[in-house]
Structure 1
Amino acid sequence: MQPSKWVPVGRISRTHGTDGAVLIVAYGETLGERQADERLFVCLPSMRIPKALTIEDIRPHGRQWRVRFREVGHMQAARALVGLEVGVPEEELPELEEGEYYHYQLVGLRVETVSGHFLGILKEILESPAHDIYVVEDERGGELLLPAVEEIVRAVRPEENRVVVQPPAGLTDDL
């Protein structure tokens, strides 16, 4: 049996209070669907295999999630987790509708215009209240920010390792 693929669903941004709780910036909606007694995994720098942590309490806190883990009982232990990503095994992710993708499935794909011009590699996806924003890194290390809206993102084809876009006029003139 092959080991599960570990999929990041958030990053621990800081401690919260004195009881070992942490605040987590979520990647997408998966973290918000987790409940008490379910597990999240964290990969400590000294470990190769992610360590399971059991959720004792999870609730929204502004634009983040306040999470208390059963195994983390004090602030000192929580401080050691700040900056680390939390994740779940791929098979625990909810099924998506046709044409929907998790961020991890898109990051790393080639981004091309509808005419076939290579713009770069999808490096990161930023979430904003209106829509996601694709951060595309070009061959020179520059970044292009593309709103992930239907008028711009024309096709997502992970099986072909590419995203096809129609950038707004003037956005790619310097490329």
Structure 2
Amino acid sequence: MESSLYTIGKVVNTHGVRGEVRVIQVTDFEDRFEPGNVVYFISPDGGKPQTLTIRTHRTHKNFQLVSFEDYPSLNDVEPMKGGELAISEEQQGELSEGEFYYHEIIGCEVHTTSGEHIGQIKEILSPGANDVWVIKRKGKKDALIPYIEQVVKQINVDEKKVTIEPMEGLLD
């Protein structure tokens, strides 16, 4: 596979006996899991990505339950636990102005509007109404920054830099 792969979900467990896996979604695009779509399975121990076609998809609690063509049983999907589902660069769609893919944000350095370096974005959580960016800080516990207008003031993915205006108590 020539192009880069981008994670859309983490396989955390199996579900039932009919070959479903429980996936934590790490994409804003729910249609990534539509039946018929092609995804790539990346094993936790590395190796060549495996091409899979989604057979079924449904949402259950906070998980996406997904099954794949040619993987009809629990035994077929058991080895997938701990792996990731990904898409190729060609499968990414065009975004509107001011929208970004997670992989463009992760790795960005975060500074305040006054120039103080906070740390680097290591993960994006999607718990509800807005995303929360996890900032790895040197010598401190991770900071959680809500992706809202009042806090995130500027994003420059080319320079891998984000500028924030922290609300009171946000960085404590």
TM value normalised by structure 2: 0.92
Identity level (%): 28
The number of residue pairs the alignment matches comes to 172
Deviation at 1:31, TM superposition (A): 4.3
Give, as a single letter, the amino acid of the residue that structure 2 aligns with 1:77.
Answer: D
- Matched position secondary structure for 1:79: helix
Tell me how far apart the structure 2 counterparts of residues 160 and 72 of structure 1 sit (CA, whole Å): 42
Matched, 1:19 2:18: yes
> Deviation per CA, 1:113-148, whole angstroms, max 9, x where unpaired?
011110000011111212111110112252111111
Counterpart residue number, 1:53 = 52
Q: Does 1:157 align with 2:156?
A: yes
Q: Is the 8 A contact 1:30 1:93 kept in 2?
A: no
Shift in Å, 1:9: 0.3
**Deviation string, structure 1 residues 38-68 (Cα, Å, up to 9, x no partner):** 2111112454321101111112222221111
For the 8 Å contact 2:109–2:160, the answer to whether it is kept is yes
Amino acid at match of 1:166: E
Aligned to 1:74: 73
Change (3 A) 1:49 1:113: same
Could you say what secondary structure the match of 2:158 adopts? helix
Q: Which runs of 4+ in 1 moved over 6 A?
A: none
Q: Which residue number corresponds to residue 7 of structure 2?
A: 8
Task: Please provide the CA RMSD for this pair.
Answer: 1.7
**Where in structure 1 are there 5+ consecutive unaligned residues?**
none
Q: 1:35 to 1:115 in 2, by over 3 A?
A: same
Corresponding residue for residue 119 of structure 1: 118
> Residues 108 and 122 of structure 1 are in contact (CA less than 8 Å); yes or no, is this contact kept in structure 2?
yes
**Structure 1 residue 109 displacement after superposition:** 0.5
Structure 2: where are the runs of 5+ without partners?
none
